[in-house]
């Protein structure tokens, strides 16, 4: 049953329009738990307040290995009720592959209600061809697939041509979107080298911004997240895909996307009409 989107408060104030869910661009994927722990009430609160802003929830790393099974199933059901895709962080699938239990891992993900998985190479040494085979295998099992591209602990400029080709091949293999590893973006933005920042922009534009998800630096503070969101929106437009968003920063990103955060609209206003109304009220 499709959930009815409720009328928003203060809808007399115009903001930039957004594609309705399910979206193929302007995607926001948020972290369920990494530095915080969301219980059932927390998940419900997040969805009630910002569910229309969130497209994907990431169950980070291997955190779900330490949560009660039926509790996790209920929490995932809350997210799915709001039309949010739920995926398990790619490093957990890597661990399952390394332990020889990948098939059982996929079966457990289906039981829990997970409908999306990430294919990454954070801990495993795999070639691009091997990663492509894993993408095809996971998709054939019935999951939407996010594929990760880029280097952990990046310490030098990325190769635009090679990264673009990797993204193209992963998409051809059936990936829904390709995530650009946060370390790649963070290294470029922190380097102070505009050519490295330009490399990121060139790569995303070459691959198509609609195909790529840019990850927010892991554990970003409000200030760091705000500046990253501004850079992403100003560089690629309001429909840029952004991932690794803290639950606390989801609405901040939405405000920046839709031009209602103060930096996007600040200007002097004309209070003549207000003054007239005040004067008339005195009469």
- The answer to whether residue 19 is domain-embedded is no
Contact 169, 206 (CB under 8 A): no
CA nearest to 58, candidates 30, 28, 94: 30
* pLDDT for residue 1: 47
DSSP state letter for 122: S
Q: Please, which pLDDT band fits residue 261 given cuts at 50, 70 and 90? A: confident
- The answer to whether residue 21 is domain-embedded is no
- The answer to whether residue 211 is domain-embedded is yes
Flag whether pLDDT at 31 surpasses 50: yes
Q: Please, which pLDDT band fits residue 7 given cuts at 50, 70 and 90? A: confident
Q: What is the mean pLDDT of the chain?
A: 88
Average pLDDT over residues 251-257: 95
Share of the chain above pLDDT 70, in %: 88
Output 102 or 61, whichever has higher pLDDT. Answer: 102
* pLDDT for residue 270: 61
In angstroms, the CA 171 to CA 12 distance is: 41
Flag whether pLDDT at 159 surpasses 80: no
| Torsion 238-241-242-248 (CA) sign | positive
- The answer to whether residue 112 is domain-embedded is yes
The count of residues in the chain is 283
Q: What is the CATH number of the domain that holds 239?
A: 3.20.20.70
Output 194 or 17, whichever has higher pLDDT. Answer: 17
- Burial group, residue 212, by CB count within 10 angstroms (0-12, 13-18, 19+): buried
* pLDDT for residue 183: 77
In angstroms, the CA 59 to CA 114 distance is: 10
Output 271 or 168, whichever has higher pLDDT. Answer: 168
> What stretch of H or E contains 204?
helix 194-207
In angstroms, the CA 116 to CA 153 distance is: 26
Number of Cα atoms under 13 Å in the Cβ half of residue 29: 28
* pLDDT for residue 95: 95
**Helix axes of 222-236 and 194-207: crossing angle, nearest 10 degrees:** 60
Share of the chain above pLDDT 90, in %: 60
In angstroms, the CA 273 to CA 133 distance is: 65
Q: Please, which pLDDT band fits residue 219 given cuts at 50, 70 and 90? A: confident
Cis peptide before 145 (omega within 30 of 0): no
Cis peptide before 22 (omega within 30 of 0): yes
- In 3-state terms, the chain is what percent helix, strand and coil (to 5)? 50, 15, 35
- The answer to whether residue 93 is domain-embedded is yes
Supply the range of the domain harboring residue 198: 28-282
Q: Which pairing describes strands 177-180 and 28-33: parallel, antiparallel, or unpaired?
A: unpaired
**Residue corresponding to tokens 């070639």:** 127
Contact 259, 265 (CB under 8 A): yes
In angstroms, the CA 232 to CA 215 distance is: 10
Flag whether pLDDT at 265 surpasses 60: no
Each residue of 111-129: pLDDT tens digit? Answer: 999 999 999 988 888 899 9
- The answer to whether residue 102 is domain-embedded is yes
- The answer to whether residue 173 is domain-embedded is yes
- The answer to whether residue 166 is domain-embedded is yes
Flag whether pLDDT at 97 surpasses 70: yes
* pLDDT for residue 162: 85
Q: Please, which pLDDT band fits residue 195 given cuts at 50, 70 and 90? A: confident
Average pLDDT over residues 79-96: 95
Expressed in angstroms, the distance from the first to the final Cα of the chain is: 56
In angstroms, the CA 137 to CA 147 distance is: 12
Q: For the chain, what is the domain count? A: 1
Lowest mean pLDDT among 20-24, 87-91, 134-138, 189-193: 189-193
* pLDDT for residue 98: 95
Contact 76, 112 (CB under 8 A): yes
* pLDDT for residue 238: 93
* pLDDT for residue 40: 94
């Amino acid at each position: 049953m499709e959930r009815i989107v409720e009328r928003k408060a203060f809808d007399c104030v115009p903001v930039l329009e957004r594609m309705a869910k399910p979206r193929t661009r302007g995607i926001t994927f948020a972290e369920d738990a990494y530095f915080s722990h969301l219980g059932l009430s927390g998940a419900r609160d997040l969805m009630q307040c910002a569910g229309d802003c969130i497209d994907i929830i990431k169950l980070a790393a291997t955190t779900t290995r330490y949560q009660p099974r039926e509790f996790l199933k209920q929490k995932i059901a809350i997210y799915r009720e709001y039309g949010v895709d739920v995926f398990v962080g790619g490093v957990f699938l890597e661990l399952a592959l390394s332990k020889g239990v990948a098939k059982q891992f996929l079966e457990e993900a289906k039981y829990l209600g997970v409908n999306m998985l990430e294919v990454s190479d954070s801990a495993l040494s795999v070639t691009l061809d091997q990663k492509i085979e894993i993408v095809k295998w996971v998709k054939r099992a019935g999951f939407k697939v996010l594929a990760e591209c880029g280097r952990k602990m990046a310490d030098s400029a990325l190769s635009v041509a090679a990264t673009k080709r990797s993204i193209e091949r992963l998409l051809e293999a059936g990936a829904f979107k390709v995530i650009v590893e946060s370390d790649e973006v963070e290294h470029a933005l922190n380097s102070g080298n505009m050519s490295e920042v330009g490399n990121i922009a060139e790569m995303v534009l070459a691959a198509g911004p609609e195909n790529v998800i840019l990850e927010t630096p892991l554990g970003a503070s409000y200030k760091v997240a705000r500046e990253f969101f501004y850079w992403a929106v100003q560089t690629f437009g309001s429909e840029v895909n952004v991932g690794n968003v803290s639950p606390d920063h989801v609405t901040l990103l939405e405000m920046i996307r839709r031009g209602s955060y103060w930096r996007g609209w600040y200007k002097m206003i004309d209070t003549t009409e207000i003054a007239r109304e005040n004067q008339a009220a005195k009469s």
